[in-house]
Amino acid sequence: MTTTQTRTNERVRAKNHGAEGWARGLAGVGAVLAAWVAFDSLTNSGLASAAADDVEFFLLWGAPFAVVSVFLGWFALRGGYAEVRSAAKRGCLVGLLLGGGTFVLCLASPLILPRDALSGAVTAFLYAPVAAALGLVIGVAADTMRKRRR
């Protein structure tokens, strides 16, 4: 490798490290905030005190925030590695597709099924976070298993 190529690679690496550092820092802040929401819904205080009377509310609201908190913490700590970044991209993509699709289907369900119009919005906001968290886990697991097969 020539000196020019080495200097170019070092500049590219330094440039990518700056953007990567911001992303990892924001992921760390997001992990703390998501953990706070998950803990808040578990303890039935603060944000969710009026609605959190049972375990179902925690499973539909707090558990997805706990999964996202663990994911963001993992990315904040290990996001410097290329394989972690690609797994995170795939997890976010699958989570977005699954959660967004669930949200749209639940929101549009009163148009197809004879139900109250408000029930579609309520189910959309209840089940879309669960589907997004499930998609996040599936995407990261699929990318990790795909890399191990190589």
Return the pLDDT at 124.
86
pLDDT on residue 1: 53
pLDDT at 126: 84
- CB neighbour burial string for 58-94, b if at least 16 within 10 angstroms, e if fewer: bebbbbbbbbbbbbbbbbbeebeeeebbebbebbbeb
Helix (H) or strand (E) holding 33: helix 3-43
Nearest-CA neighbor of 69 among 94, 40, 90?
Answer: 40
State the pLDDT at residue 51: 53
* pLDDT at res. 12: 47
Distance CA(47)–CA(69), nearest Å, equals 17
Reading the chain (150 residues) residue by residue, the pLDDT tens digits are 555 555 554 444 545 556 677 888 888 888 988 888 888 777 766 555 555 556 666 677 788 988 999 999 999 898 888 888 899 999 999 999 999 999 999 888 888 877 776 788 888 888 899 999 999 999 999 999 998 887
End-to-end CA distance of the chain: 28
Q: What's residue 148's pLDDT?
A: 85
CA–CA gap between residue 22 and residue 57 (Å, rounded): 33
C-alpha distances out from residue 53 to 60, 64, 107, Å? 13, 18, 25
136 CB neighbour count, 10 Å cutoff: 25
DSSP classification of residue 44: T
> Structure pTM?
0.75
At residue 96, the pLDDT reads: 95
